[in-house]
Amino acid sequence: MDVRHHRSDLFPEIEPFACGRLPLDERHVMHWEQAGNPRGKPVLFLHGGPGAGASPAHRRFFDPRFYRIVIFDQRGCGRSTPYGDLTDNSTQHLVADVEALRRHLDIERWLLFGGSWGATLALAYGIRWPAHCLGFILRGSFLGTRRETDWFLHGMGTFFPEAARAFYGFLPEAEHADLLTAYYRRLTDPDPAVHLPAAVAWCRYESACSNLIPREETSRYLGGEMDAAALALARIEAHYFMHDTFLADGELLANIRALKRVPAILVHGRYDMVCPIASSDSLARAWPGARFVVVPDAGHSAMEPGIRTALVRATESMKTRLARSE
């Protein structure tokens, strides 16, 4: 066996070899970048949220000698513009954006790598365009169902009661019966004095529940630039939740047969409280080409040690498979 399969940490920091801006329509413009080997096997990193945006650390899951690493910021977040915008922002728009980027970069087929919402988008794209997919590496899969959204809003407090109390407590008690609508109303208010505190409250809640052992930095939304960064994540997440992620309930799992011949590695933390492991378990049982990797000592975050190790090993394992297929 290739000893590099045993790599347990991220690859070194790397800078992009190309960046660009792709107009998507009359309103939205996508920021994209490429790193690694310009002639390597293409891999597309799909960030979570929706609305979280990409970061330099996301380049480091992949061997830069082998992979042509493609990363972009989805509509309304990161370096894409306009920032925090919800107009024409849906799952179907994002699937079309991924395909537009593939054509723009003249890529025939690519490996899809995504976690949480990134896994949702990878699946939605793959079901629509299976012929363009070399394979999938999915972490903490979220299938976009109403049950999962309800868990996010009401279930995580079972294990993180302090975080849930703060999340609920931000709102007047009279609005607790419909948390999502109450937060959405504030997050879409044009006044920063209204939408920024709501965004901070939302992101503190999600961040606090994302790790097996909560870290000090989960309370980092304390003002300034980090508050502004929270806005796209909270506003766009609430927008997608308000619209049932723009998917029919159970749609992705019901159509996974479109990918039955495509290889996949599904990585999930046993104690993932943001996206419970039952979703990946259902996906693995319905997907003949999938290998299911359960990380016994991890929660949701891609940067937890066990998850990080499993993801790097997955890209190394897929690297061997792709090299053999040449």
Catalytic residues: 116, 272, 300
Look at residue 77 and give its three-state secondary structure: coil
Nearest Cα neighbor of 133 from 295, 290, 294 is 290
d(CA 39, CA 186): 46
8-state DSSP, 246: G
Helices 179-187 and 225-242, interaxial angle, to 10°?
Answer: 130
Q: Which residues lie below 8 Å from residue 22, measured CB to CB, with a gap of 6+?
A: 29, 30, 32, 100, 101, 104
Residue 293: in which H helix or E strand, if any?
strand 290-295
Helices (H), the chain: 91-104, 117-128, 146-150, 161-169, 179-187, 192-208, 225-242, 251-254, 278-286, 305-324
Rg (CA), the chain: 19
Q: Are 41 and 67 in contact (CB under 8 A)?
A: yes
Burial call 72-88: b when 16+ CB within 10 Å, e when fewer: bbbbbbbbbbebbbbee
- First CA to last CA across the chain, in angstroms? 19
